[in-house]
Amino acid sequence: MKDVLYREQKEYLESFNNETNKLLLEMEEFADKNIVPILSRDSAKLMELLVQMYKPERVLELGTAIAYTTIRIAGNLKKGSKIHTIEFSEDNEKLAKAYVKKSGLSKKIRLLFGDAKEVMPGLKKKYDFIFLDADKEDYLALFEMAMKLLKKNGVIFVDNLLWHGYAASKEVPEKYKTSTKYIRDFNKIFMNHPQLNTTLLPVGDGIGLGIKIK
């Protein structure tokens, strides 16, 4: 698998990591050992800063995994604000429940179990901040649903838009061809969406950041 940054730059940025939260460190270690894809530290830090700056009252996450980013976001929400997060893997849902309990942030987190494509039509109230981090073949469908659920001036944050470097690469290994096509198709729509002002940041695996202007 490729990296978006050169190794030297990646290591330099990592040298500034000063995470001290024991639960987050434990979760990072668990994810690493068990090959659970979670948001990279630099992207997670960017997301935390955006949450601190933007102060969303209602956050929606599509793709909980073990609730690493759910807990990071919840830890930065103001009193009374909430994150709803959707996951369809039973194993991940169990792990997420246990970690959320351990975090002491249960009051700020609502775990929703099921395929986001089926759960989202049942969500009626709009959100201030939506984080899309699910299966790549679902990105377009989930994005379209997310746009309906995003408030005007709301923020959308999407992971993996440089897709290990393959989104921009001429040579894509067979194994990544289909997923790379999904990401490239998604990027064209995301970056040219008439209701969004967007950018694609070379942070982590490539972060798509947008604000709903219309």
> What's phi and psi for 130, nearest 5 deg?
-125, 130
180 binds ligand SAM (CB under 6 A): no
Q: Of 14, 21, 37, 121, which lies in the binding site for ligand SAM, with binding defined by CB under 6 A?
A: 37
Site string for ligand SAM, 72-111 (x = CB under 6 A): --------------xxxx--x-------------------
**Based on CB atoms, which residue is closest to ligand SAM, 153 or 178?**
178
CB 46 within 8 A of CB 115: no
Q: Please, which residue, 172 or 207, has the CB nearer to ligand SAM?
A: 207
- Minimum distance from residue 172 beta carbon to ligand SAM (Å): 20
- Residue 85 Ramachandran class (φ > 0 left, ψ -120 to 50 alpha, else beta): beta
Contact pick of 82, 115, 169, 184 for ligand SAM (by CB under 6 A) = 115
Q: Which of residues 43-72 bind ligand SAM (CB under 6 A)?
A: 63, 65, 68-69
Give which of 72, 77, 87, 65 is closest to 24, Cα–Cα: 72
Q: How far apart are CA 23 and CA 28, in angstroms?
A: 9
Q: Tell me the DSSP string of 119-131.
A: HGGG--S-EEEEE
Q: Determine contact, residues 167/136, Cβ cutoff 8 Å.
A: no
Q: Which two tokens stand for residue 25?
A: 């460190």
* Binding-site size, ligand SAM (CB under 6 A): 19
Residue nearest to ligand SAM (CB): 63
The residue among 137, 196, 188 whose CA lies nearest residue 209 is 196
Q: Does 166 bind ligand SAM (CB under 6 A)?
A: no
- How far is Cα 118 from Cα 142, in angstroms, rounded to an integer? 10
Residue selected from 116, 130, 145, 209 as contacting ligand SAM according to rule CB under 6 A: 116
Q: Work out which of 38, 100, 149, 196 binds ligand SAM, going by CB under 6 A.
A: 38
Based on the shown chain and the rule CB under 6 A, indicate whether residue 163 belongs to the binding site for ligand SAM. no
| 8 Å CB contact between 180 and 167 | yes
Closer to ligand SAM by Cβ: residue 89 or 198: 89
Rule CB under 6 A: which residues touch ligand SAM? 37-39, 63, 65, 68-69, 86-89, 92, 115-117, 133-135, 138
